[in-house]
Every structure is written in C-alpha cells, then in structure tokens.
Amino acid sequence: MQEVNIISELWDFIEEEKEKTKIAQKVYNWLNEDNLSSVMVFNDTKRFYFELTTSYTAMPNYIFNYLKRWAKKQSYTYLYN
C-alpha cells in the first residue's frame, strides 16, 4: 500500500474558501498555526487519516467534521469509520 500526503490539496482549497465562509476562515486559522502535518491517503483504497504535528495537538470537532466533509467530496473515506 502506498500512501500519499494530500495536505497541499487541502491548503489550496482552504485558501480559496477562507474568504467565503466563517467556518473556512476558522479552519484556515487553525491550520495556519501548524497543527496538522499531513493528510495521508492510501492510494489503493482511497482511505485517509490525519497526522497532527504533536501528540498534544487537539483538533476541535468542528474542524474535524469540516475536513472529513472536504475529503468526502474528494472521494476519500476516513480510515476509522
């Protein structure tokens, strides 16, 4: 299984959306604090998971849900569903 980091796709999306909605601006601010190091996708199954920058970094539920919805629109499935 090969894994690919798609964090750059997320950044491209969120940088466009941050001007459109308040939630996107909040997600952008959280990401901009270096909280998320990667969004890893298994190529063969299209399943993904998040890697936070440190063990004590916490992802608020509203950000987690927003990122999961974004990934679902990209045809990815969360690994732990």
Per-residue pLDDT of the chain (81 residues; tens, 9 = 90+): 799 999 999 999 999 999 999 999 999 999 999 999 999 999 999 999 999 999 999 999 999 999 999 999 999 999 998
* Residue 8 lies in domain: 3-78
Q: What is the pLDDT of residue 1?
A: 74
* Residue labelled with tokens 């919805």: 69
∠ CA 17-66-37, rounded to 5°: 85
- Of the candidates 57, 16, 4, 14, which has an alpha carbon nearest to the alpha carbon of residue 35? 57
Please state the domain count of the chain. Answer: 1
Q: What is the pLDDT of residue 81?
A: 84
Instruction: Give the CA distances from residue 61 to residues 10, 43, 45, 77, in Å, rounded to whole numbers and listed in that order.
Output: 17, 26, 25, 17
